[in-house]
Structure formats: structure tokens, C-alpha cells
Chain A
Amino acid sequence: MKVLAAGVVPLLLVLHWKHGAGSPLPITPVNATCATRHPCHSNLMNQIKNQLTQLNSSAKALFILYYTAQGEPFPNNLDKLCSPNVTDFPPFHANGTERARLVELYRIIAYLGASLGNITRDQKVLNPSAHSLHSKLNATADVMRGLLSNVLCRLCSKYHVAHVDVAYGPDTSGKDVFQKKKLGCQLLGKYKQVIAVVAQAF
């Protein structure tokens, strides 16, 4: 039963991933053959580059929108509250092989996607009237979902990578409101920083 809970449920969660997915999940079972449900796009790398560019271009605005919506002291204490010191953030090496970079990108986007889900969920409660922020968070999450799918397709079709271990950020549901705001701000600051490097690398 535990095996079922640890394997099948997370798998289902990933396949129908929404905000706030749980613990690290395998993309495919370890022994499963690498196969995609639909043929990959012929110009997949360009798609990935465009999506990264899109994310990079909107990351700063999202960051500003976020910390503005949190009220004081966030806008005037970014260094203390929104510094991108996220300890468990997946690493990225821009000088690696394409395969390695794609794998790292996959981990980053999976991490960011889950964190964005948490942030979106929290902000809908904490700032119910910040509609533009909600809209931008949702749009970013949508692009990330597409990017994750494309990276997976690329890894699978070209490099036959069927399994990538991913990690997710801490669940903020038990944190106090101020801490939720702070963690969200740090995550978005980190995202803004990382996505610029990643977009440049591709």
C-alpha cells in the first residue's frame, strides 16, 4: 500500500500536475521505456528557447508585482526578505552538454513549477484582490508546464532519458503568513536570477 502511495499517486500527480504537487517524483518508472504520448515538435529546441525567453522577459515584472502586493516591508527590504538564497534550488551548469543542461533545466522547471503552485495558492488566500498578480502567476505556470513537456520530449526523443530525479521546494502550507510571503518572494527572486542564466545558456 505504501508503495502504491509513494509511486502511483505521485505519478498521477505529475501527469495531471497542478499547483502544489508533493514530494520529489520520478518522471517515469525506472525501468519504463522512454516513450511520449505524442510525437515531439520538429523544432523543439527553438520552442524551448522561445519559452525560456518568454519566461525570462516576464520574470522581473512578476517579481515586482509580487513584492508590491505584499505591502511593506517587502518593497523596501528586498535584500532581507527576497534575496535569492534558496538553499535547495537545483543547480544549473551553463557549460555542460545539451543533455546535461536539459536534465538540469528539467529539474529547475519542476522545482519552480511546484513552488509557483504554492505561491499561487497562498496568494489567492492572502491577496484575494490582487488579480493581476494571480493572472501573471498562472501565465508563468502555464508556460513552465509547456516547457517541462517540451524538455521531457527532447530528453526522451533525442537522449532517451526516461527518468529524471527532481526535487521540490518546501511546502509552505504550514508556515505563517509572513513566512509564506517571504518564501514566495525569495523563490521569485531566485527564479528571476536563474531563468536569466538558463535562457542565456540555450
Chain B
Amino acid sequence: MALFAVFQTTFLLALLPLRTYESEVLSEPLLLTPESLKVSVNSTRQRLHLQWTVHSLAYHQELKMVFQIQISRFKTSNVIWVENYRTTVKRNRVLHWSWESKLPLECAAHFIRMRSMVDDARIPKPGFWSNWSSWEEADAQNSLGHDPLLVFPKDKLVEEGSNVTICYVSRIHRDNISCYLEGVQIYGEQLDRSVSAFELKNVSFIRKRGTNVFCKVDQGGALGGIVLFVSKVLEEPKDFSCETQDLKTLTCTWDPGSDTGLSKQPSQSYTLFESFSGKKTLCKHRNWCNWQVAQDSQETYNFTLVAENYLRKRSVSILFNLTQRVHPMTPYNLFPKNVGATNATMTWKVHSIGNNSTLLCQLELLAEGKVIQQHNVSIKVNGEYLLSELEPDTEYVARVRCAYTNHFWKWSELISQKFNTAEAAPSEAPDVWRNMKMVSGHPTVSLFWKPLSKVHANGKILFYNVIVENLDKPSRLEVLSIPAPTRSTELTLDQCSYQIHVTAHNSVGPSPASVIVISGDPGNEEVESGRVNGTEDGFSVSWKPQSGDATGYVVEWCDGPQDLPCALQWKNLGPNTTSTVISSGAFRPGVRYNFRIYEISAKRMAHLLEKKAGYLEELAPSDNPQVVMSNLTSHSFTLSWKDYSTESQPGFIQGYHVYLKPKAGEQCPPAFEKTVLPEDSLCCKHTIDNPEQKTFVVENLQPESVYEFFVTAYTSVGEGPLDAFTKITTLDEYSHILIRIILPMIFCVLIVMIICYLKHQWLKEKCYPDIPDPYKSSVLSLIKSKENPHLTIMNINDCVPDAIEVINKPEGSKIQFLGTRKSLTETEFTKPAYIYLLPTEKNYSGPGPCICFENFTYNQAASDFASCGHFPVTPQAPPHQLGPLTSPENLLKALEQNYMNSLGEIPAGEANLNYVSQLASSTSGDKDSLPTNPPEPALCSEYKMQMVIPLGLASAPPSENSSLSSTTLLGQGEHYR
């Protein structure tokens, strides 16, 4: 019974809690309050960590609950976050929840509380929130230190493009705090009296070493700062792939993208994970990683590459079969073998892959960078292939790459090898042309040939052989060997016909011969010249075939201007061709090119068919004709420019323009038309449309007028440059008549002057003899007619000049040439002494009467030196007439006056002689010898020597001490004569 009672009691006791639970769960709201709430702060991550438990739960009981969490900032009433956190709760299980704050936790105190509610489907009644837990404070400011101004978050690491909130805590409570990022002030929001926050949105990467953000109190206060690290966003690895070269090692590669390394954060790391084997490896390199292939014949691999930095993790995966990722190693030992002129054998080796694996190799042959042959060869280790159809003496590049035959994945890297094929004999005859000219009467042939192209030369051309064969008479062949690269030679031939063979030789042999026949009789190859138009493509030359048996045509031209040495060019054309386009890079605008078209006969002789001349592009003349003016008259003049060459101009000369500038207001002459020059001046222009007309007569001009002319040539493009005009003045209308008169007169005068000069002695004798002939004197006739008709002339035979009067003047006597009358009269006169010198007559026995002759035509100054002492000087002569005779004018006046005086004062009866001589004025130094008394008849006749003395000398005063005598004067007269 007791046992039953105990059992019953126990049963009841067991039921009691069950009932209680049922009553709680099923009938009453279940209230479970969170307990043991603890808050911790992670400043670096700016997170608040919460942990709590729910103790009220029954043992092993699990309930779904929702916890409402409230977070306040600065004060509990300032709720900034409310969140419902749902979780399954067990008894005594510690629950965790964390929250990241945008604002750095150091800048504000945070308060957290929560309440809970059962949110389990097993509880049918609607739940009720439990009571709030008490506020828990999370304050990170306690450990900040004592700095007056603090900026947070310290060393913040964020991704590019994210938002960051920066705050400062000021312990000095001032408003004048400003914050800067990269030197630029940032503006925020004041959260508290001492806290402000700045939200930086979409921050960008600046530099790896971070960016200083600082706040400072204006005007010398505190300064606090942080360094903000902005990382680039970690990119997903691109182009991730794995391959093997030997089926032993897998190499995985990828493109890592940007490096996210900073001072605060190392570069992103890469980890390779293989899911089938569960192995992973940390890659040592940014963009590749090796993976050792397992020995357990794993064929399929699933790799995941994980890139990771402090902020983010990125991954990429690939799944592949190992044998499908074989990338063979580069082949090696690629060499040419047995290289001939047209073939070569290439050999190479490959690295083996596994056992008995086969590789497919691709052999490519390149010439001048282009693939010309491609061959596929399957090999195991050694490869070999014969390349054929090669060109002689050509550089080739052979290259080989291989791929795994079982499953093509990738070609290996290429290996290349250069080689040269051997030489062969030239395959084509050289292109030969000739130029014939006569040198010293012998036909001389200049042979030209073009170098063979590389395709036809088949090697290096060493020399050219020229074989000259006389076709008219049998003779030895003349062989000339001309070393390359000479491309021409000159042959002097005779009048015979010759066949010339030209061959090119390389180290292997000669080329086929090029044959050309030179005729001994060049014939008359003059043909008419035509014109050819130049285009951008060149000159389009066409011709008319002459004979039907032409084997071809040759167009010949010179590449350079005519005045330069000709670089002969030619072009061979087929027999059916009648036109071609000649193009050359050497063609220049404004240069005249002459083309000759030859027909090649069946006998391989060339005959000139046509000549063409043309310009690639015609230009205006660059210079103007040198014009010569002639035949100038009063109404016309002739212009000529015959030296102007129309051939060497930069275009076909079509004619000339003659410009004439008449004097102002004058009309243009006929045949001229008015035109305006570029400098806007009016001008007359005449156009000559014949390029060969190089003279022009400008007519109908005004006499004695100034004209300006200028001649220029013109082409189809335009005329020459406007040069300076040449001035010309037409002649006076009568000037030519005057010239006809004056010129003969001048000529006659010249003749007379020459005659006079040559016959001056004769003229002198006739016109003005030294000793005048009294009979020819007109004076006598004058005297006779006026006064005394009985006067006669003394016969010279009547006077025997047998004595010379010597005037002996004592020394010390003063000669006063220019003295006063008194001085003249006071001068002591010395009587002359007479000396008998030359008795001319046998019957002359003694001194007879003497007659003195004087010639008045002579300069008194000279004659005074030898004046006769018996000179009849009139005392009435005014003294003043004696002085100023030093001047020539005075002297002449004196001469005239004295002459008249003499005529008037000498009475005819007083003289012993009827002859009246020409008397000079007695004003010379001889005056001191003159008698002061009136003249008396002299007893003897005295001849005074006639002297020609310049007037200047005549006026020169004699020296004071000069003694004057006839002999002395005679000597002087001889001296001056």
C-alpha cells in the first residue's frame, strides 16, 4: 500500500509539471525574456557583438523565437536601429548577433536592449513580447587617450566605390574645426556637441600608401588625423585554364586583374582547390600555379581558383579531362639537311608525352614572311620532311609546331630555322637595249641591260658576257666580260652590221643570251615628233605599227630632265601592242620627257617609229626671255629674244605676251589690248601665239615718249613670272635729221683741225709769220689811206742788220716795273753800248744809221725785256697805266691804248723812217732804260726779237737785282719757245 502511495505521489508529481507546461504553452502566453545580455565592441570592424541566453526554457526544449533588438546612440532615447532576429532557442544556449555601425564606434556611446517573443508554430496563440532587457552600453571612448582632437576610424580599409563615415571627437568643444581629405575641406554633420561625422560617398582609389584625412582646430589649435586606405575591388580571375605539357604537371594560368595591395593590405592571394581529390595549394604567383598530377590515373579534374584579400573573396572553377589539355612542349633541334637549289630536308625532335604518344607536327615554309608551304607530319620523337619546289638562292624560314594527336588542344610554341637554297644558272636572258651615236665618224653603240630579277638570277650575278658578231663579213667573235654590277658598255663598230649577244653569269652558269642586231647603216631615222599627255599614272604612249613583221616594240626615254645626263630607260613590249603607259617614280612635273618608240624587226633590228614629248604636268614658265631692243625710232622699236629655248621650259610654250606701258593717258598702240596687271596697274598686252616667233616690232608709238615693255612666254598653265619692265624712250622726230647734218660737220671740222695741226708751220708762215711781211701788213694800207699816201716800206735790203746793240746796265740800278712816274724818271739811264757783230756786206765799212723795228703784236711784258732804248714813250702816259699791267686784261688794254697813242703821238715828220712798226707798251722792267726825254731819231736800226710768252709770265715782276740785257732775254725767249 505504501508502495502504491509512493508511486501515486510520484505520478502526480510528474504530472504536475506537465500540466503546468500545458497550461503555459497551450493556454497562457509564453514569455521568455532574454538574459545575460553582453555587448562587446570591435572598433576595427565597427561592429557590436551581442550575446545572450534564454534561461526560462525547459530542458531540451527548442523554440523558435524572435528577438527585437534596439540600438540607441548617445542616449537611450535616440534609437537608431531596430531589428528582429529570428532563431531557434535552446535552454542555456548562448545566442549571438552582431551589428555593423556606419559611424565609428569610438565617436559615440551606443546602448542596446532587446526583448523576445515565441514565434513557434507549435504555439497556437499569438505571441507577446517579453519585457525589454535593461540597456547595455557599448562605449569605445574610454580608451581613446587624452588627445584633444581625435579622428576615426583609424586605418580604415574600404573598397573603391563604397561609402565611409568619418567622425571626430573634440574634447575642447569648439566649433571651428574643419576636416580635409587630400587637401580639400569636407563637410559633415554635427552629431553631438563634440562629435561630427562626415560621410564620404563612392570613395575612389588614390594611392597604395593611403590618404591622410585630418581635422584641425582653426587658428593654431589641435590636429588629428587618420589614414584611409581605399582598395581596388578584387576582380574575378579571368581566362582561367589548366594544361599539361607532359601529363605529369598541370599548369593553371589566369589573368589576375588589378592588384589590390596597399600598405594596409597585401596583394590578393590565390588558392587552387581540386574538388575530386580535395587537395588545395596556395599559389606563389599572381597569375599561374603548378599542380602535380596524381599518380592514381585521375583523368578528370575540377579546379576552383579562389582570389582573396581582406575585403573580398572571388572564385572561378573549371572541369576538364587531363588528356584533353595537353599542350606539347616546343620542338627542338630543327635543322635543314641536304639543301639543294630546289629542295631541302628538314629534321626536328619533340619531347615525348607519356608512353607511345604520337604528335602531329605542322611544318611551314615561309619566304619573305609569307607561308608558301604547309605540311603535317605525325611523329613520335624525330621528325623529318623533304621540302621541294624551292627557288634557287632563296632564303627560307622553316618552322615547326606540334600538337597532341589523341585530342587536339593547342599547338606547341613554334621553332624556326632559316636556310638558303643553293644557286642555279640564271633562267632568263637579260633585258638589253642600245643607244647609237657617231663618235669621230664611227658608229658607237652604248649597250645597256637591266639586272636580272632575283627570281631569274638564281644567284649572285658575277659578270656579263657581251659577244659581238660581224654579220657582213666573217671574223672572230669579240667577247667582252663585264663584271657585275656594271649595267652598260660601249662598243665602237664600223659600218658593218653586228649581232650582239649578252649573257649574265652566276657561279653556276650563264643565262640564255639576249640578242640585238646593230645595222651598219643607221639610215635616216628622222621622224616627226608628237606630243604625249602625262597623267597621274604616267605617260600614255601609243604608236602606229609600220610593218607587219614586228617582233616587238621598245619605248625609250630618259628619266631625268634634258639638261641632266640621260639615265636611259626602256620598256619592251610585245608585237601586238600599240600603246603602253610609261610610269616612273622619277617623273617630275614641269620636266619635258622625250619618248622614242622603236619597232623590233624579225632580224632583231630596231627602227625608230615615232618620237613623243610630254610633261607629266605642265607648269608656267619659270623665267622670261632675255629681250634685246633694237631699231629704235621715234615711232617704233624692235624686241627680239632669239636665245629663248622653248624646249627647256616646264611646259609647251604656246606663245608670248608682250606688255607695254605707254605714258599716262596714252592709248594702247594698235595690236595691243588693255589689260590689268596683278598689281592693278593698267597695261597694254599683245599676244604672240607662235612660239617660234621671237621678234616683235612695237609700232605706232609717240616720239620722245617713255615706254616700258616686258615679254613673257606662256604655256597652257599660264605665263612666266612678272618681271621688271624695261624703260625705253622713243627718239625725237627730227633728231635723225640733225644727226645727218651735225655728224658730217663734226667730221669736216675734225679734218680741218687735223690739217691745221699737220700744216701749222705752213699756216704760220702764211698767216702769222714770226717776221711779218710789211708788204702784207694791213696797217700800212690803213696809214696810207688815212694820212700819208706816200709812205713806203723800206726794203729789207736797204737795212743791213750788222750790229747788235748790247745794253749795258750797270749793277745796282733799280728796275721799277711798277713804280711811279717819278721813279721812272729818276732812274739813272745807262746808255747802251753797241757792238758790231755781223757785217753782212762787203762794202760795209762802218756803223751806219740804225733803225729799230718793233713788233706791236707781241706781248709787251715780254718785249719790254728786250725793248729798244729808243722807245718813244710818251711822257703823257698816265702813271697809273704802268702799275696794273700785271693782269692780262690790263695788259691788253694797255696794248690797245699804247698802240693808239703811238699812232697818234708819233708824227710822221719826226720819224726818220716811214715804217711804223707795231709798238708795245713800255711798261716792263725795261723802263728804267727808257730815256726820259722824248724820243729822238735813232742812228741805227734795232731788231727786237719776237717772243711768244704766256700772259702770266708777262705779268711776273722781275727780281730786284735782275740785270736786263738783250742777250739775257734772248736766252729766255729760247727757253720758252
Task: Indicate whether A70 sits within 8 Å of B263 (C-beta atoms), given known contacts A77-B223, A176-B154.
Answer: no
> Does A72 make an interface contact (CB < 8 A)?
yes
Task: Indicate whether A178 sits within 8 Å of B226 (C-beta atoms), given known contacts A72-B212, A73-B180, A73-B212.
Answer: yes
> Does A58 make an interface contact (CB < 8 A)?
no
Q: Which of B151, B209, B226 contacts A127 (CB 8 A)?
A: B209
Q: Which of A79, A81, A177 contacts B227 (CB 8 A)?
A: A177
Q: Which of A125, A127, A178 contacts B212 (CB 8 A)?
A: A178
Q: Which of A73, A74, A129, A177 contacts B216 (CB 8 A)?
A: A73
> Does A14 make an interface contact (CB < 8 A)?
no
> Does A128 make an interface contact (CB < 8 A)?
yes
- The answer to whether B154 and A72 touch across the interface, beta carbons within 8 angstroms, is no
- The answer to whether B212 and A126 touch across the interface, beta carbons within 8 angstroms, is no
Q: Which of A74, A79, A177, A179 contacts B263 (CB 8 A)?
A: A177
* Chain B residue with the shortest CB-CB distance to A175: B154
Q: Which of A72, A79, A126, A177 contacts B182 (CB 8 A)?
A: A72
- The answer to whether A77 and B227 touch across the interface, beta carbons within 8 angstroms, is no
Number of residues on chain B facing chain A (CB within 8 A) = 21
Hey, which chain A residues are within 8 Å of B209, CB to CB?
126-129
> Does A39 make an interface contact (CB < 8 A)?
no
A77 to B214, CA, bound (A): 11
A68 to B226, CA, bound (A): 17
Kindly state the interface size class of chain A when it binds its partner: 20 to 34
- The answer to whether B263 and A72 touch across the interface, beta carbons within 8 angstroms, is no
A161 to B182, CA, bound (A): 52
Hey, which chain B residues are within 8 Å of A128, CB to CB?
208-209, 263
> Does A41 make an interface contact (CB < 8 A)?
no
From B208, B209, B220, name the one whose CB has the most chain A CB atoms within 10 angstroms: B209
Hey, which chain B residues are within 8 Å of A182, CB to CB?
225
> Does B846 make an interface contact (CB < 8 A)?
no
Task: Indicate whether A80 sits within 8 Å of B223 (C-beta atoms), given known contacts A72-B180, A72-B182, A73-B180.
Answer: yes
A181 to B224, CA, bound (A): 12
Hey, which chain A residues are within 8 Å of B182, CB to CB?
72
Hey, which chain B residues are within 8 Å of A126, CB to CB?
209-210, 227, 263
Hey, which chain A residues are within 8 Å of B227, CB to CB?
126, 176-178, 181
Hey, which chain A residues are within 8 Å of B264, CB to CB?
177
Task: Indicate whether A73 sits within 8 Å of B225 (C-beta atoms), given known contacts A80-B216, A178-B212.
Answer: yes
Hey, which chain B residues are within 8 Å of A80, CB to CB?
216, 220, 222-223
Hey, which chain A residues are within 8 Å of B214, CB to CB?
72-73, 178
Hey, which chain A residues are within 8 Å of B154, CB to CB?
176-179
A6 to B263, CA, bound (A): 33
- The answer to whether B216 and A77 touch across the interface, beta carbons within 8 angstroms, is yes
A73 to B210, CA, bound (A): 13
- The answer to whether B223 and A73 touch across the interface, beta carbons within 8 angstroms, is yes
Hey, which chain B residues are within 8 Å of A176, CB to CB?
154-155, 226-227
Hey, which chain B residues are within 8 Å of A127, CB to CB?
209, 263
Interface residues of A in 146-202 (CB under 8 A from B): 176-179, 181-182
Task: Indicate whether A177 sits within 8 Å of B210 (C-beta atoms), given known contacts A73-B180, A126-B263.
Answer: yes
* Chain A residue with the shortest CB-CB distance to B149: A80
A177 to B180, CA, bound (A): 17
Interface residues of B in 199-256 (CB under 8 A from A): 208-210, 212, 214, 216, 220, 222-227
A81 to B183, CA, bound (A): 16
Chain A proximity of B261: nearest CB distance (Å): 10
Chain B proximity of A174: nearest CB distance (Å): 11
Sample of 14 further A-B pairs with CB below 8 A, known A73-B216, A178-B224, A181-B227: A71-B212, A72-B212, A73-B212, A73-B223, A73-B225, A80-B216, A80-B220, A128-B263, A176-B154, A176-B226, A177-B227, A177-B263, A177-B264, A178-B212
Q: Can you pick out 21 interface pairs between chain A and chain B where the beta carbons lie within 8 Å of each other?
A: A73-B180, A73-B212, A73-B214, A77-B223, A79-B220, A80-B223, A126-B209, A126-B227, A129-B209, A176-B154, A176-B155, A176-B226, A176-B227, A177-B210, A177-B263, A178-B151, A178-B155, A178-B224, A178-B226, A181-B227, A182-B225
- List chain A positions with a Cβ less than 8 A from chain B: 70-74, 77, 79-81, 125-129, 176-179, 181-182
